[in-house]
Chains A and B, each alone.
Chain A
């Protein structure tokens, strides 16, 4: 009879009546209901710069997938990015503190003090963000331009870097 189901259930429950309660999981903060599209942050470029304090050129660049990681190092030197219309898209400090930036020493051999090398020949890596609209790179000391990479060469190096 049906009543036996209920009564049987009650009997079983009486035996097994000490079921443990399961604690609830803590509520995690819900995600946003919507979000604007993130900025077009598709990585960064490693520039290889060569030259001296009077003339400094980009000789190679290597695209990287990770986002640009800015570095706070105040410097009178900068790498500036420009778009096709000549608008400056960004300016990033260029740290030349490990080099001999005395213009009078340009072309001279490196000097060693203790175990520190001071070389007027600049050869270094520098990071900049990859900005899709950028088409030229200018290396500056204040308002003075030390070198630039124009669109054709920029695109060629970008492609060469990607293909490596």
Chain B
């Protein structure tokens, strides 16, 4: 059972029919959730004087503790809240009209033994005041417990479940609440009575000597059969089990009684608690993803089965939440439904299907979003280091204009945009009117020299940052094949990073990162290369043999060159061009190691591996550290 929590709600004094009543105190002693989805039990006390309020409080805790230690209340404790209302009586105890001389007490609800001529039937007479007080609780389902401060054994149940507060109080109240809450019949019998009437309404007694009329699904299991003697008759009425709390105190509830208690709980409570969104009617733009969720109250023993449906079609999710991509739904009204089935072992006979609950949302998918579609893409065979042009056609299929959007191009091996793809840059496309078609062409587009020859996938990606909400987010990419041929006898330095053009790059000290200046000299495979850093510009440059390196060699050059030798963070700045003629430098900087700024350039030189002569120099690329 959840923690008992006490919250003093309020006190007050009312006048009724000229009689001054003492102040009432309302407490919530079990709070398992909103009363909008709980069975709210109210406990009243009678025959407690003001000085005995703490006794009433402890009696209530004992009653509740026993109830929720008893199956199936124990398993379904989360389905209940419990509130108490205390109003002091003038006298302590209850009326005993059947003793001599009679005992008469002035109590707030006028509790009395010998109700209906049955000595142990302890019930209340002032039901009007009891109901009015019960209604002071935050919520009340109608059935009300009453604990009477009297040590003489007794109890009775009707609209109220009444018990004395002696040693058997908790057992008596659990028994009486079985009547009041679940409509269970007494299973005990009186000697020499034989029943000849019609089939009783209560589910736990029957006139059928086989038991099949009431509990056919329990017969032969858990000790259930048809035992003669029930409902105050020794003969002619039958009970499910030899013993049960509805027959004798100190016994557990039999399976048939337990079943009725679970079904009674489900008459008021749904296991689909706290459903979100709270509104049952929703409207969303097409393309938006909506989350639906709830808290599942089904106890572990119930092995709850969750089924989500969209327009009657079961979904793969069987958990407590479902994300609905409205981009997959047509415009108009749709039904989102979750069904929870409590497969509890406590219930076998369930003609009304109470443990199966559903919650439905009505979703109106509206049309107030643009829908950018990569409609057409065309390019021409290209050479690494050379230029091509790309024709792109973008259509806005939505009913409203799109804002300005980025249109970008990539070369990819696998048609999945990832950091190892080659970025070809992009443009900003101005707003596109509804149903309009635009052609944001790019000419020229330079293919980086470091791109190895081969067949790639050229892709256009619209709104890569997902900055524009669209009806359909799945039609923003289009791929076509593109053959890239080998570069000629050039010497190029460029960044093999996703920057365009690949001639400038930045490393941020705060966040860290990588830059990859790459030498491309296809006709010099096997020769030596060195990538040099200069901080003082590219002109006039530095004469190297008959060549001019577009970099002013300076202190930066010397320090960085020395630092790069043997460093694990600066690699590949000096080496041998591979079989494709590539020399791949890299700086890999972890985050948050330095502040400051540096602006410089890289340029590379190629040295003949046999003569040691400078045979090529590259162009310079810009480098910024900040």
Which A residues lie at the B interface, using CB under 8 A? 1-10, 12-14, 16-17, 19, 28-39, 44, 46, 48, 50, 59-60, 62, 64, 66-73, 95, 97-99, 109-119, 123-127, 164
Can you list 11 residue pairs at the A/B interface with Cβ under 8 Å?
A: A9-B594, A10-B589, A12-B593, A14-B567, A36-B279, A36-B283, A109-B116, A112-B115, A118-B158, A119-B158, A124-B159
- B interface bracket (residues with beta carbon within 8 Å of A): 35 or more
A-binding segment of B120-128, B219-227, B338-346, B434-442: B120-128
The 8 Å CB contact of A69, one of B36, B201, B469, is B36
A127 touches B116 (CB 8 A): no
Q: Which B residues lie within 8 Å of A8 (CB)?
A: 594
10 nearest CB pairs, A to B: A29-B291, A112-B116, A9-B594, A117-B158, A5-B596, A67-B36, A114-B186, A123-B127, A66-B35, A62-B135
Q: Which A residues lie within 8 Å of B408 (CB)?
A: none
Query: Given A35-B279, A66-B36, A112-B116, are A6 and B123 neighbors across the interface (CB < 8 Å)?
Result: no
Other A-B pairs, 18, CB within 8 Å; known A66-B36, A69-B38: A3-B555, A6-B625, A9-B593, A16-B593, A29-B289, A30-B291, A35-B282, A35-B283, A38-B278, A39-B280, A62-B136, A67-B34, A68-B36, A69-B35, A73-B267, A95-B142, A99-B159, A112-B156
A72 touches B34 (CB 8 A): no
Which B residues lie at the A interface, using CB under 8 A? 12, 14, 34-38, 115-118, 120-121, 123, 127-128, 131-132, 134-136, 138-142, 144, 155-159, 175-176, 179-180, 183, 185-186, 188, 201, 231-232, 266-269, 277-285, 288-293, 321, 323, 352, 354, 364, 469, 509, 512, 533, 535, 555-556, 559-560, 563, 567-570, 587, 589-591, 593-598, 625
Query: Given A5-B596, A109-B116, A123-B131, are A116 and B157 neighbors across the interface (CB < 8 Å)?
Result: yes
B568 touches A72 (CB 8 A): no
Closest residue of A by beta carbon distance from B163: A115
* Docked pose: A17 CA to B589 CA in angstroms: 9
Within the complex, what minimum Cβ distance (angstroms) separates A58 from chain B? Answer: 12
Q: Which B residues lie within 8 Å of A13 (CB)?
A: 512, 569, 589-590, 593
Within the complex, what minimum Cβ distance (angstroms) separates B430 from chain A? Answer: 25
Q: Which B residues lie within 8 Å of A112 (CB)?
A: 115-118, 121, 156
* Docked pose: A62 CA to B587 CA in angstroms: 74
Query: Given A13-B569, A13-B589, A71-B267, are A48 and B278 neighbors across the interface (CB < 8 Å)?
Result: no
Within the complex, what minimum Cβ distance (angstroms) separates B107 from chain A? Answer: 17
Within the complex, what minimum Cβ distance (angstroms) separates B31 from chain A? Answer: 12
Q: Which A residues lie within 8 Å of B560 (CB)?
A: 3, 6-7
Q: Which B residues lie within 8 Å of A35 (CB)?
A: 277, 279, 281-284
B625 touches A5 (CB 8 A): yes
Query: Given A3-B555, A110-B115, are A60 and B354 neighbors across the interface (CB < 8 Å)?
Result: no
A5 touches B598 (CB 8 A): yes
The 8 Å CB contact of A30, one of B132, B290, B569, B590, is B290
Closest residue of B by beta carbon distance from A5: B596
* Docked pose: A109 CA to B563 CA in angstroms: 105
The 8 Å CB contact of B292, one of A3, A28, A29, A64, is A29
Within the complex, what minimum Cβ distance (angstroms) separates A3 from chain B? Answer: 5
A66 touches B34 (CB 8 A): yes
The 8 Å CB contact of A32, one of B139, B284, B569, is B284
Q: Which B residues lie within 8 Å of A64 (CB)?
A: 35, 138-139
A10 touches B570 (CB 8 A): yes
The 8 Å CB contact of B128, one of A44, A59, A73, A114, is A59
* Docked pose: A9 CA to B511 CA in angstroms: 12
A60 touches B135 (CB 8 A): yes
The 8 Å CB contact of A60, one of B132, B279, B590, is B132
Closest residue of A by beta carbon distance from B143: A98
B288 touches A33 (CB 8 A): yes
A116 touches B285 (CB 8 A): no
A98 touches B159 (CB 8 A): yes
Within the complex, what minimum Cβ distance (angstroms) separates B495 from chain A? Answer: 17
